Amino acid sequence: MKICIIGTGYVGLVSGTCFAEMGIEVACVDSNAEKIENLKYGRLPIYEPGLEELVVRNQAVDRLGFTTSLAEAVEGAEVVFIAVGTPPGEDGSADLSHVLGAAQQIGKALTHSVLVVTKSTVPVGTTERVRDIIAGLTDVDFEVASNPEFLKEGNAVEDFMHPDRVVVGVSSDSARLTMERLYKPFMINSNRLIVSDIRSAEMIKYASNAMLATRISFINDIANLCELVGANVSEVRRGMGADPRIGNKFLYAGLGYGGSCFPKDVDALIATAAGLGYRMEILEAVERVNDRQKNVLVEKILRRFGDDLTGRVFGLWGLAFKPETDDVRQSAAVFTARELLRRGAVVRVFDPVAMAAARAELGDGVVYCESMYSATQGVDALLLATEWKAFRVPDWDVVGRMMRGRLVLDGRNIYDARELTGLGFEYEGVGV
Protein backbone atom coordinates (compact mmCIF):
# COMPACT_ATOMS: atom_id res chain seq x y z
CA MET A 1 0.00 0.00 0.00
CA LYS A 2 1.31 3.44 -0.91
CA ILE A 3 0.14 6.72 0.58
CA CYS A 4 1.02 10.37 0.06
CA ILE A 5 1.20 12.96 2.84
CA ILE A 6 1.11 16.65 1.97
CA GLY A 7 2.96 18.65 4.62
CA THR A 8 6.05 17.74 6.62
CA GLY A 9 5.25 19.72 9.73
CA TYR A 10 4.53 18.15 13.08
CA VAL A 11 1.49 16.12 12.05
CA GLY A 12 2.61 15.16 8.56
CA LEU A 13 6.13 14.09 9.51
CA VAL A 14 5.10 12.03 12.53
CA SER A 15 2.19 10.41 10.68
CA GLY A 16 4.17 9.59 7.57
CA THR A 17 7.09 8.17 9.51
CA CYS A 18 4.91 5.99 11.73
CA PHE A 19 2.94 4.64 8.76
CA ALA A 20 6.28 3.78 7.11
CA GLU A 21 7.40 1.99 10.27
CA MET A 22 4.41 -0.34 9.81
CA GLY A 23 5.51 -1.31 6.32
CA ILE A 24 3.49 1.18 4.28
CA GLU A 25 5.19 3.01 1.41
CA VAL A 26 5.00 6.73 2.20
CA ALA A 27 5.80 9.74 0.04
CA CYS A 28 5.91 13.02 1.97
CA VAL A 29 5.66 16.20 -0.07
CA ASP A 30 6.34 19.80 0.95
CA SER A 31 6.81 23.03 -0.99
CA ASN A 32 9.77 24.01 1.22
CA ALA A 33 12.76 22.71 -0.73
CA GLU A 34 15.23 23.36 2.08
CA LYS A 35 13.15 21.37 4.55
CA ILE A 36 12.85 18.46 2.11
CA GLU A 37 16.59 18.44 1.46
CA ASN A 38 17.31 18.43 5.20
CA LEU A 39 14.87 15.57 5.77
CA LYS A 40 16.60 13.50 3.10
CA TYR A 41 19.73 13.75 5.23
CA GLY A 42 17.90 12.99 8.47
CA ARG A 43 17.84 16.60 9.69
CA LEU A 44 14.44 17.18 11.24
CA PRO A 45 12.63 20.54 11.49
CA ILE A 46 11.22 19.65 14.93
CA TYR A 47 12.37 17.94 18.10
CA GLU A 48 10.30 14.89 18.99
CA PRO A 49 11.70 11.97 21.04
CA GLY A 50 12.29 8.87 18.91
CA LEU A 51 11.32 10.45 15.60
CA GLU A 52 14.75 11.03 14.07
CA GLU A 53 15.71 7.37 14.44
CA LEU A 54 12.51 6.26 12.67
CA VAL A 55 12.98 8.76 9.82
CA VAL A 56 16.53 7.57 9.17
CA ARG A 57 15.63 3.89 9.42
CA ASN A 58 12.65 4.01 7.08
CA GLN A 59 14.45 6.12 4.50
CA ALA A 60 17.23 3.57 4.49
CA VAL A 61 14.82 0.80 3.42
CA ASP A 62 12.98 3.05 0.91
CA ARG A 63 9.66 3.03 2.72
CA LEU A 64 9.79 6.76 3.43
CA GLY A 65 10.59 9.38 0.83
CA PHE A 66 10.57 13.17 0.65
CA THR A 67 9.91 15.32 -2.40
CA THR A 68 8.74 18.75 -3.49
CA SER A 69 6.79 17.27 -6.40
CA LEU A 70 3.13 16.58 -5.59
CA ALA A 71 2.62 14.78 -8.91
CA GLU A 72 5.49 12.44 -8.04
CA ALA A 73 4.18 11.82 -4.52
CA VAL A 74 0.59 11.18 -5.61
CA GLU A 75 1.56 8.76 -8.38
CA GLY A 76 0.42 5.27 -7.39
CA ALA A 77 -0.89 6.41 -4.01
CA GLU A 78 -4.11 4.90 -2.72
CA VAL A 79 -4.61 7.52 0.01
CA VAL A 80 -3.58 11.18 -0.02
CA PHE A 81 -3.44 12.93 3.35
CA ILE A 82 -3.62 16.70 3.74
CA ALA A 83 -1.53 17.51 6.82
CA VAL A 84 -0.65 21.17 6.38
CA GLY A 85 -0.88 23.93 8.96
CA THR A 86 -4.05 25.79 9.92
CA PRO A 87 -2.70 28.80 11.85
CA PRO A 88 -5.11 31.23 13.49
CA GLY A 89 -6.23 34.24 11.52
CA GLU A 90 -6.56 37.72 12.96
CA ASP A 91 -10.13 36.98 14.07
CA GLY A 92 -9.18 33.67 15.69
CA SER A 93 -10.65 31.54 12.92
CA ALA A 94 -8.53 28.83 11.29
CA ASP A 95 -6.59 29.97 8.23
CA LEU A 96 -7.49 27.32 5.64
CA SER A 97 -5.40 28.72 2.79
CA HIS A 98 -2.86 25.89 2.98
CA VAL A 99 -5.55 23.20 3.18
CA LEU A 100 -7.56 24.58 0.28
CA GLY A 101 -4.37 25.20 -1.67
CA ALA A 102 -3.44 21.54 -1.21
CA ALA A 103 -6.88 20.56 -2.50
CA GLN A 104 -6.28 22.59 -5.65
CA GLN A 105 -2.92 20.91 -6.19
CA ILE A 106 -4.47 17.48 -5.71
CA GLY A 107 -7.22 18.26 -8.21
CA LYS A 108 -4.64 19.23 -10.82
CA ALA A 109 -2.37 16.25 -10.14
CA LEU A 110 -4.88 13.37 -9.96
CA THR A 111 -4.56 10.72 -12.66
CA HIS A 112 -6.21 7.82 -10.80
CA SER A 113 -8.82 7.19 -8.13
CA VAL A 114 -7.72 8.03 -4.56
CA LEU A 115 -9.11 8.64 -1.08
CA VAL A 116 -8.28 12.21 0.01
CA VAL A 117 -8.11 12.53 3.80
CA THR A 118 -7.96 15.76 5.80
CA LYS A 119 -5.67 15.21 8.77
CA SER A 120 -5.13 18.90 9.46
CA THR A 121 -7.26 20.34 12.24
CA VAL A 122 -10.06 22.02 10.31
CA PRO A 123 -13.46 23.55 11.11
CA VAL A 124 -16.56 21.50 10.47
CA GLY A 125 -17.42 21.44 6.78
CA THR A 126 -13.84 21.85 5.50
CA THR A 127 -13.51 18.32 4.13
CA GLU A 128 -16.60 18.97 2.01
CA ARG A 129 -14.96 22.16 0.70
CA VAL A 130 -11.88 20.11 -0.17
CA ARG A 131 -14.09 17.66 -2.06
CA ASP A 132 -15.78 20.46 -4.02
CA ILE A 133 -12.47 22.09 -4.98
CA ILE A 134 -10.99 18.83 -6.24
CA ALA A 135 -14.18 17.90 -8.10
CA GLY A 136 -14.04 21.21 -9.93
CA LEU A 137 -10.56 20.46 -11.26
CA THR A 138 -10.68 16.78 -12.30
CA ASP A 139 -12.91 14.15 -13.86
CA VAL A 140 -11.10 11.38 -11.98
CA ASP A 141 -13.19 9.54 -9.38
CA PHE A 142 -12.13 10.14 -5.79
CA GLU A 143 -13.54 10.11 -2.26
CA VAL A 144 -12.86 12.20 0.84
CA ALA A 145 -12.60 11.41 4.54
CA SER A 146 -11.63 13.09 7.79
CA ASN A 147 -8.98 11.65 10.11
CA PRO A 148 -8.08 14.18 12.85
CA GLU A 149 -4.86 13.68 14.78
CA PHE A 150 -4.57 13.36 18.57
CA LEU A 151 -0.82 13.62 19.06
CA LYS A 152 0.75 15.11 22.17
CA GLU A 153 3.97 16.97 21.50
CA GLY A 154 6.75 15.15 23.30
CA ASN A 155 4.90 11.85 23.05
CA ALA A 156 3.71 11.93 19.45
CA VAL A 157 5.45 8.79 18.19
CA GLU A 158 4.09 6.71 21.07
CA ASP A 159 0.64 8.24 20.60
CA PHE A 160 0.59 7.34 16.92
CA MET A 161 1.99 3.83 17.34
CA HIS A 162 -0.29 3.03 20.31
CA PRO A 163 -3.35 5.27 19.89
CA ASP A 164 -6.07 5.52 22.50
CA ARG A 165 -8.44 6.04 19.55
CA VAL A 166 -8.36 6.65 15.83
CA VAL A 167 -11.24 8.79 14.59
CA VAL A 168 -12.30 8.38 10.97
CA GLY A 169 -15.10 10.32 9.31
CA VAL A 170 -16.38 8.76 6.08
CA SER A 171 -19.37 8.90 3.77
CA SER A 172 -19.07 5.48 2.11
CA ASP A 173 -18.26 1.88 2.90
CA SER A 174 -15.32 1.87 0.49
CA ALA A 175 -13.69 4.81 2.31
CA ARG A 176 -14.30 3.10 5.65
CA LEU A 177 -12.72 -0.15 4.42
CA THR A 178 -9.67 1.69 3.09
CA MET A 179 -9.11 3.47 6.41
CA GLU A 180 -9.64 0.25 8.36
CA ARG A 181 -6.99 -1.47 6.24
CA LEU A 182 -4.58 1.44 6.63
CA TYR A 183 -4.87 1.46 10.43
CA LYS A 184 -5.10 -2.31 10.94
CA PRO A 185 -1.41 -2.59 11.96
CA PHE A 186 -2.11 -0.25 14.89
CA MET A 187 -5.15 -2.22 16.05
CA ILE A 188 -3.64 -5.69 16.52
CA ASN A 189 -4.29 -5.87 20.27
CA SER A 190 -7.46 -3.83 20.44
CA ASN A 191 -9.66 -2.17 17.83
CA ARG A 192 -9.86 1.48 18.83
CA LEU A 193 -11.16 2.75 15.49
CA ILE A 194 -14.08 5.14 15.86
CA VAL A 195 -16.02 5.60 12.62
CA SER A 196 -18.40 8.55 12.24
CA ASP A 197 -19.73 10.87 9.59
CA ILE A 198 -17.26 13.44 8.30
CA ARG A 199 -18.62 16.49 10.10
CA SER A 200 -18.72 14.69 13.46
CA ALA A 201 -15.08 13.60 13.04
CA GLU A 202 -14.06 17.20 12.43
CA MET A 203 -15.95 18.31 15.54
CA ILE A 204 -14.51 15.53 17.73
CA LYS A 205 -11.03 17.03 17.37
CA TYR A 206 -12.06 20.54 18.42
CA ALA A 207 -14.37 19.34 21.19
CA SER A 208 -11.61 17.14 22.65
CA ASN A 209 -9.01 19.90 22.78
CA ALA A 210 -11.56 22.38 24.10
CA MET A 211 -12.46 20.03 26.96
CA LEU A 212 -8.81 19.56 27.93
CA ALA A 213 -8.21 23.30 27.80
CA THR A 214 -11.28 23.79 29.98
CA ARG A 215 -9.97 21.40 32.63
CA ILE A 216 -6.64 23.25 32.71
CA SER A 217 -8.25 26.66 33.10
CA PHE A 218 -10.68 25.33 35.68
CA ILE A 219 -7.99 23.97 37.99
CA ASN A 220 -5.95 27.16 37.53
CA ASP A 221 -8.97 29.21 38.58
CA ILE A 222 -9.33 26.96 41.63
CA ALA A 223 -5.59 27.34 42.34
CA ASN A 224 -5.84 31.12 42.37
CA LEU A 225 -8.76 30.91 44.80
CA CYS A 226 -6.81 28.44 46.95
CA GLU A 227 -4.07 31.04 47.42
CA LEU A 228 -6.63 33.57 48.57
CA VAL A 229 -8.37 31.28 51.08
CA GLY A 230 -5.28 29.41 52.30
CA ALA A 231 -6.05 26.03 50.72
CA ASN A 232 -3.61 23.80 48.81
CA VAL A 233 -4.60 23.06 45.21
CA SER A 234 -2.51 19.89 45.17
CA GLU A 235 -4.63 18.46 47.96
CA VAL A 236 -7.78 19.73 46.26
CA ARG A 237 -6.73 18.02 43.04
CA ARG A 238 -6.18 14.71 44.82
CA GLY A 239 -9.60 14.87 46.37
CA MET A 240 -11.29 15.79 43.10
CA GLY A 241 -9.39 13.27 41.03
CA ALA A 242 -10.38 10.39 43.30
CA ASP A 243 -13.89 10.73 41.91
CA PRO A 244 -13.93 8.45 38.83
CA ARG A 245 -16.37 10.80 37.14
CA ILE A 246 -13.70 13.52 37.26
CA GLY A 247 -10.32 11.76 37.23
CA ASN A 248 -7.00 13.54 37.71
CA LYS A 249 -5.72 14.10 34.18
CA PHE A 250 -5.26 17.70 33.02
CA LEU A 251 -5.98 18.95 36.53
CA TYR A 252 -2.48 20.24 37.28
CA ALA A 253 -2.29 23.86 38.33
CA GLY A 254 0.40 25.92 36.68
CA LEU A 255 0.98 28.60 34.08
CA GLY A 256 -1.81 27.62 31.69
CA TYR A 257 -1.77 25.90 28.33
CA GLY A 258 0.27 26.89 25.28
CA GLY A 259 1.67 25.27 22.18
CA SER A 260 0.26 25.00 18.69
CA CYS A 261 -3.03 23.22 19.39
CA PHE A 262 -5.08 24.31 22.39
CA PRO A 263 -4.87 28.10 21.89
CA LYS A 264 -5.71 28.06 18.19
CA ASP A 265 -8.33 25.33 18.48
CA VAL A 266 -10.18 27.12 21.26
CA ASP A 267 -10.03 30.31 19.19
CA ALA A 268 -11.26 28.51 16.10
CA LEU A 269 -14.20 26.89 17.89
CA ILE A 270 -15.24 30.25 19.34
CA ALA A 271 -14.95 31.83 15.88
CA THR A 272 -16.94 29.03 14.23
CA ALA A 273 -19.76 29.51 16.70
CA ALA A 274 -19.66 33.29 16.34
CA GLY A 275 -20.00 32.92 12.59
CA LEU A 276 -23.24 31.06 13.21
CA GLY A 277 -24.54 33.59 15.70
CA TYR A 278 -23.75 31.52 18.81
CA ARG A 279 -21.46 32.32 21.75
CA MET A 280 -19.26 29.66 23.34
CA GLU A 281 -19.39 31.37 26.73
CA ILE A 282 -17.53 28.65 28.63
CA LEU A 283 -14.66 28.65 26.13
CA GLU A 284 -14.49 32.43 26.17
CA ALA A 285 -13.97 32.21 29.95
CA VAL A 286 -11.42 29.40 29.48
CA GLU A 287 -9.42 31.65 27.21
CA ARG A 288 -9.58 34.62 29.61
CA VAL A 289 -8.40 32.49 32.53
CA ASN A 290 -5.53 31.10 30.48
CA ASP A 291 -4.39 34.53 29.34
CA ARG A 292 -4.38 35.68 32.97
CA GLN A 293 -2.58 32.54 34.17
CA LYS A 294 0.46 33.18 32.00
CA ASN A 295 1.11 36.23 34.16
CA VAL A 296 1.20 34.37 37.49
CA LEU A 297 4.98 34.32 37.96
CA VAL A 298 5.33 37.94 36.90
CA GLU A 299 2.65 38.99 39.40
CA LYS A 300 4.45 37.14 42.19
CA ILE A 301 7.70 38.89 41.31
CA LEU A 302 6.07 42.32 41.18
CA ARG A 303 4.49 41.80 44.60
CA ARG A 304 7.92 40.97 45.99
CA PHE A 305 10.20 43.40 44.15
CA GLY A 306 7.92 46.20 42.90
CA ASP A 307 7.08 47.32 39.38
CA ASP A 308 10.57 48.58 38.48
CA LEU A 309 12.86 45.57 38.14
CA THR A 310 15.95 47.50 37.04
CA GLY A 311 19.01 45.86 38.56
CA ARG A 312 17.14 42.67 39.38
CA VAL A 313 18.29 39.35 37.92
CA PHE A 314 16.07 36.29 37.47
CA GLY A 315 16.83 32.73 36.43
CA LEU A 316 14.29 30.94 34.25
CA TRP A 317 14.30 27.16 33.90
CA GLY A 318 12.38 26.07 30.82
CA LEU A 319 11.32 27.88 27.65
CA ALA A 320 9.25 25.31 25.74
CA PHE A 321 5.52 25.34 26.43
CA LYS A 322 5.83 21.79 27.81
CA PRO A 323 8.59 19.20 28.32
CA GLU A 324 9.96 16.97 25.53
CA THR A 325 9.48 19.53 22.76
CA ASP A 326 11.25 22.57 21.37
CA ASP A 327 7.93 24.29 20.65
CA VAL A 328 7.75 27.74 22.26
CA ARG A 329 4.50 28.87 20.62
CA GLN A 330 2.20 30.48 23.19
CA SER A 331 4.71 29.51 25.88
CA ALA A 332 4.12 30.98 29.34
CA ALA A 333 7.89 30.93 29.84
CA VAL A 334 8.48 33.18 26.84
CA PHE A 335 5.68 35.48 28.00
CA THR A 336 7.26 35.66 31.46
CA ALA A 337 10.70 36.47 30.06
CA ARG A 338 9.28 39.25 27.89
CA GLU A 339 7.40 40.82 30.78
CA LEU A 340 10.44 40.77 33.05
CA LEU A 341 12.62 42.29 30.33
CA ARG A 342 10.03 45.00 29.73
CA ARG A 343 10.34 46.02 33.37
CA GLY A 344 14.10 46.33 33.24
CA ALA A 345 15.19 42.94 34.63
CA VAL A 346 18.05 40.75 33.48
CA VAL A 347 16.78 37.26 32.65
CA ARG A 348 19.08 34.23 32.54
CA VAL A 349 17.47 31.26 30.77
CA PHE A 350 18.07 27.58 30.09
CA ASP A 351 16.08 24.88 28.32
CA PRO A 352 17.39 21.43 27.32
CA VAL A 353 16.22 21.69 23.67
CA ALA A 354 14.28 24.92 23.03
CA MET A 355 17.06 27.52 23.19
CA ALA A 356 17.23 28.07 19.42
CA ALA A 357 13.46 28.32 19.08
CA ALA A 358 13.32 30.73 22.01
CA ARG A 359 16.04 32.92 20.52
CA ALA A 360 13.83 33.37 17.45
CA GLU A 361 11.12 34.73 19.79
CA LEU A 362 13.18 36.63 22.37
CA GLY A 363 16.19 37.71 20.35
CA ASP A 364 19.27 38.62 22.37
CA GLY A 365 17.37 40.32 25.17
CA VAL A 366 17.89 37.43 27.57
CA VAL A 367 21.07 35.67 28.66
CA TYR A 368 21.22 32.16 27.16
CA CYS A 369 23.07 29.92 29.59
CA GLU A 370 24.99 26.72 28.96
CA SER A 371 23.47 24.82 31.88
CA MET A 372 20.61 24.92 34.33
CA TYR A 373 23.01 25.87 37.10
CA SER A 374 24.69 28.72 35.23
CA ALA A 375 21.19 30.16 34.73
CA THR A 376 21.03 30.66 38.51
CA GLN A 377 24.27 32.67 38.74
CA GLY A 378 23.64 35.83 40.77
CA VAL A 379 19.85 35.74 40.47
CA ASP A 380 17.41 37.25 42.94
CA ALA A 381 14.90 34.50 42.26
CA LEU A 382 14.71 31.23 40.34
CA LEU A 383 11.60 30.60 38.24
CA LEU A 384 10.58 27.10 37.12
CA ALA A 385 8.41 27.42 34.00
CA THR A 386 8.72 24.07 32.19
CA GLU A 387 8.80 20.81 34.12
CA TRP A 388 11.62 19.03 32.28
CA LYS A 389 12.82 15.88 34.04
CA ALA A 390 16.29 17.44 34.34
CA PHE A 391 14.83 20.11 36.64
CA ARG A 392 12.98 17.78 38.98
CA VAL A 393 15.78 16.92 41.43
CA PRO A 394 18.40 19.67 41.21
CA ASP A 395 21.37 19.95 43.53
CA TRP A 396 19.99 22.63 45.81
CA ASP A 397 23.36 23.15 47.47
CA VAL A 398 24.78 24.25 44.11
CA VAL A 399 21.72 26.39 43.40
CA GLY A 400 21.98 28.05 46.78
CA ARG A 401 25.64 28.92 46.27
CA MET A 402 24.96 30.33 42.80
CA MET A 403 21.93 32.48 43.66
CA ARG A 404 22.07 35.97 45.13
CA GLY A 405 18.60 35.65 46.66
CA ARG A 406 16.76 32.64 48.09
CA LEU A 407 13.36 32.82 46.36
CA VAL A 408 12.15 29.86 44.26
CA LEU A 409 8.96 30.37 42.25
CA ASP A 410 7.65 27.01 41.11
CA GLY A 411 5.28 27.54 38.19
CA ARG A 412 4.51 23.82 37.87
CA ASN A 413 4.32 22.71 41.53
CA ILE A 414 6.98 20.03 41.16
CA TYR A 415 9.03 20.86 44.26
CA ASP A 416 8.42 20.08 47.92
CA ALA A 417 7.85 23.31 49.84
CA ARG A 418 8.92 21.76 53.16
CA GLU A 419 12.17 20.48 51.65
CA LEU A 420 13.10 23.85 50.19
CA THR A 421 12.20 25.87 53.26
CA GLY A 422 14.23 23.41 55.30
CA LEU A 423 17.19 24.19 53.06
CA GLY A 424 16.79 27.90 53.64
CA PHE A 425 14.92 28.85 50.47
CA GLU A 426 11.70 30.79 50.20
CA TYR A 427 9.20 28.80 48.16
CA GLU A 428 6.06 29.79 46.28
CA GLY A 429 4.06 27.55 44.00
CA VAL A 430 0.76 28.06 42.21
CA GLY A 431 -2.22 27.62 44.49
CA VAL A 432 -0.18 26.10 47.30
Residues catalogued as catalytic: 261
Q: Kindly state the helix (H) or strand (E) to which residue 106 belongs, with its residue range.
A: helix 97-109
DSSP string, 232-290: -HHHHHHHHHTSTTT-STT---SS---SSSHHHHHHHHHHHHHHTT---HHHHHHHHHH
The 8-class DSSP code of residue 408 comes to: E
Q: How far apart are CA 182 and CA 114, in angstroms?
A: 13
Q: In what order do the strands lie in the sheet with 426-428?
A: 367-368, 346-350, 313-317, 381-384, 407-410, 426-428
Q: How far apart are CA 287 and CA 263, in angstroms?
A: 8
Is-contact 349 319, C-beta < 8 A? Answer: yes
Backbone angles phi, psi at 3, to 5 degrees: -130, 160
Q: What is the 3-state secondary structure (H, E, C) of 163-206?
A: CCCEEEECCCHHHHHHHHHHHHHHCCCCCCEEEECHHHHHHHHH
* Nearest C-alpha neighbor of 48 from the set 84, 19, 11: 11
Backbone angles phi, psi at 9, to 5 degrees: -80, -155
In the chain the first and final C-alpha atoms are separated, in Å, by 54
Is-contact 368 355, C-beta < 8 A? Answer: yes
Strands of 44-172, DSSP E: 64-67, 79-82, 114-118, 142-146, 166-169
Backbone angles phi, psi at 107, to 5 degrees: -55, -35
The 8-class DSSP code of residue 153 comes to: T
Q: How far apart are CA 248 and CA 160, in angstroms?
A: 23
Phi-psi region of 351 (alpha: psi -120 to 50; beta: other; left: phi over 0): beta
**Residue 416 CB neighbours (<10 A):** 12
